[in-house]
Chains A and B, each alone.
Chain A
Amino acid sequence: MAVKFSPQAVKEFEETLARYPHKEAALLPVLLLAQREFGVLSDELVQYVAGLMDLPPSRVKSVVTFYTLFNTREVGRYVIRVCHTLSCALNGTEEVIEHIKKRLHIDVGETTPDKKFTLLECECLGSCNTAPVTQINDRYYENMTLELVDQILDSLE
C-alpha cells in the first residue's frame, strides 16, 4: 500500500509551507506531521516526504536519524520516555525505570508484544523542579512515584 497524506494532512502541509520563504525549511514540521499520520517514519514514508519536499531521500533520512523524537522503527501506541539526566537521577528516576520494566516485562528500548507501550530513557526534559519526570506521548507526568506509575499505566487504554 502506497503511503499518502489524508486531505486534512495535505491542507496542514500546505499551511506549513506558507510559513517559510524556502520550502526546505518546512522539513521538520512536515516530518512531524508525517509521523503523526503514520506513527513511524519508514523508508517508504521518507521517500514520500522527499517527493513532497523536492529533496533527495538521503537528505530527508539524514534529518530523520539526527533528531530523537523521530521514530525510525515501530513503536507502541504509548511511548514512555523517562528522563534520566542528573536532577531526575538524584531524585529516584532509576526506581521509576526499574518499576516500569518490571510491570511491562520489557527492557528499555523495547515494545510490549501487544504494541501498547514502548519504554525509552531520554535526556533532560526541562522539568527538573518536578523530578523525576516522565513523558508519555505528548504529556509530561511530574513528581513520579511508583504508585503514580501504576495509576498512570492502568489509566491508559
Chain B
Amino acid sequence: MEEKILLKYIDVPDIEKIEVYQKHDGYKGLAKALKQHKPDQIIELVKASGLRGRGGAGFPAGLKWSFVPKDSGKPVFLCCNADEGEPGTFKDRLLMEKNPHQLIEGIVITAYAVNCHQAYIYIRGEFSQAMKVLEQAIEEAYEHNCLGKNILKQGFHLELSLHSGAGSYIAGEETGLLESLEGKRAEPRLKPPFPASVGLFKGPTVINNVETLSNVPHIIMRGPEWFKGFGTEKSTGTKLFCLSGHINKPGVYELPMGVPLKELINNYGGGIIGGRKLKAVIPGGSSTPVLTAEQVEEVAMDFESLQAAGSMLGSAGVIVMDETTCMVDALANLTRFYAHESCGQCTPCREGVSWMAKIARRIEEGKGLEGDLELLLDICDNISFKTLCPMGDAAIGPVVSFITKFRSEFEDHIRQGRCPIEKDKSIKVRG
C-alpha cells in the first residue's frame, strides 16, 4: 500500500468538518508555520521540497512565490485556481468536495509566506457541490480563528472569498482568471508583466492550483526531505492521476510521481474495458500530445519522462482509448472543444482552431480532401507561438500528435471517403 499525502484522510467520515479535520492533524501545519517560521523560511522550505505546480505547467511553487516583490507598497493577492476544466481532469473537484480544509490551510500558509491579506478561490461555475462545501468550510475556518484577524493568535490576518466563474475554459489560464475575477471577459493578458509583479487589481499576485496548495500544509508539517522521499529527483511528491476513458476502474489515484503509465492503467485502473486492446493514451489532459500503445509500455508519469517521450504531464488527466476508438473522431471531438473555448482575442487561435475542427470533422464524415492533413499541420504551424496565451499551443498538441502517430488512419478516411473504424461509442456499464 502506497503512502498517501493528499488523499490520506479522504474517506474519513465528515472530514470536511473542521472538528474532524483538526483531529486528523488539521491546521497543525498552519500553527507550525505561524509560530515557528518567518514568511521567507516558508518559501525556502517549499523551494527545498521541489513542489511544482499541479495545474499543468509544473512551475516550482516556492520559486513563483519568491518573485513577489517585497517593497511594491501595493497589497498582495493570492488566487487559488479552482477552475478545473482541462478535459480528462477531475482531481481538484475531489479535493474541494471531500477535504476543503486541507486546501484552506494551504491557502493561509501560502498567503502568510507572500505577505498577502486577501485571497480568492476562483472556482468554476459548474462546481455547485464543491462551492457549497467550501462556503461552509470557510465559515468554520473563520469561526475557529483559522481565517480572519489575528489567526491562531499569531498576529497574521487573511480574508478568503469564494468567487464563482460562469462557464469558460480559458478562465483557467492564469491571466484569464485575473481578468474574470476583475469582472471582465476572461481574455488572457500579454506577459510580461507577470502576475507576480502586476496581477489582480494591478497588485502583485500569486496564482496556484488547488492540488499545489493542498500539498503545502504537509510540507510544513513533515519537512522538505520527507516530501522529496516521494517521486523522482526532479518531480517530487505524489500526484493525483485522473483515469478516464476505456478503463475498468476510472477514478483519481494518488501515487508517487514517476509511476509507470502501464502500471497505472493495468494495476490501478484495472486494465482496458472488455479486455480489449489498448490503442492510445492522452497522458496529461486533452492538450498533451497523445501516446501510442507502444509508448505506454515504456513511459513513466513525471514531468521529465513525459517530456522526453514528446508529451507532457500537464494536469495528469489520463484518457485511455481502446482499439474501437477512431482517432479522427476523437480529434474532431477535441478540436471542437478548443474551437468552442477560444476566447477570440488572437486571430490565429480564433480562426485557426475553428478551421481545424471543421477539417477534422469533415475527414471523419468521409468528406476529407487530398491535402487536408498538410493543411491541418500548416494551420498548426500558423498558430504555434503566435497567440497571447498557451491556449493556441494547447489546441494544436492533439492535432500534430494524432496526425503524426496515426497518419495511416487519417489517410484511410480520406482515401475511402468514409470512417473505416468499427467504433463502439455505447454506454459502458462497469461492475
Partner-B contacts on A (CB < 8 A): 19-22, 24-29, 31-32, 53, 62-63, 66-70, 84-87, 89-92, 94-96, 123-132, 135, 138-140, 143-146
Contact = CB atoms under 8 A, between A and B. Distances in A.
A128 B88 contact: yes
Interface in B108-163: 118, 124-129, 161, 163
A25 B242 contact: no
Contacts of A144: 427
Contact of B167 (A62, A69, A85, A128): A69
Interface of B: 75, 84-90, 92-93, 118, 124-129, 161, 163-169, 180-186, 201, 242-246, 250-252, 282, 286, 317, 319, 321, 325, 330, 333-334, 337, 340-341, 343, 425-430
A24 B182 contact: yes
B166 A31 contact: yes
Contacts of B428: 91-92
Contacts of B245: 86-87, 90-91, 128
B172 to A, nearest CB: 10
Nearest to B159: A19
Given A67-B125, A128-B87, A28 B250 contact: no
Nearest to B124: A126
A29 B426 contact: no
Contacts of A85: 87, 286, 333-334, 337
A26 B89 CA distance: 28
Given A92-B428, A128-B242, 13 more contacts: A20-B161, A21-B75, A22-B182, A28-B163, A32-B164, A63-B185, A86-B337, A90-B245, A92-B427, A96-B427, A123-B341, A129-B242, A132-B427
Most B C-beta atoms less than 10 A away, residue of A22, A28, A62: A28
Contacts of A131: 244, 250
19 contacts: A19-B161, A24-B184, A27-B184, A66-B343, A67-B125, A67-B165, A67-B167, A68-B167, A70-B166, A86-B88, A86-B333, A123-B337, A126-B89, A129-B90, A129-B243, A132-B427, A135-B126, A145-B427, A145-B429
Given A63-B183, A67-B166, A92-B425, A125 B250 contact: no
A90 B87 contact: no
A128 to B, nearest CB: 4
Nearest to A132: B427
Given A86-B286, A89-B333, A124-B337, A140 B427 contact: no
A128 B244 contact: yes
B77 to A, nearest CB: 9
B161 A89 contact: no
B164 A28 contact: yes
Q: What are the 3 tightest A-B residue pairs by CB atom distance, in nearest-first order?
A: A92-B427, A27-B183, A68-B167
B425 A32 contact: no
Contacts of A84: 333
Contacts of B243: 129
Contact of A90 (B90, B180, B183, B325): B325
A1 to B, nearest CB: 26
A126 B333 contact: no
B185 A90 contact: no
A85 B164 CA distance: 22
Contact of A126 (B93, B118, B166, B168): B93
A53 B182 CA distance: 13
A63 B184 contact: yes
Given A29-B163, A69-B166, A92-B427, A129 B251 contact: yes
A135 B93 CA distance: 15
Contacts of B430: 143
Contacts of B169: 123-124
A91 B246 CA distance: 7
A140 B329 CA distance: 26
Contacts of A139: 128
A119 B279 CA distance: 33
A129 B247 CA distance: 9
A69 B126 contact: yes
Contacts of A53: 183
Contacts of B87: 85-87, 123-124, 128
A97 to B, nearest CB: 11
Most B C-beta atoms less than 10 A away, residue of A67, A126, A131: A126
A8 B425 CA distance: 47
A36 to B, nearest CB: 11
Contacts of B90: 126-129
B251 A126 contact: no
Contact of B181 (A25, A91, A130): A25
A151 B58 CA distance: 43
A22 B201 contact: yes
A141 to B, nearest CB: 12
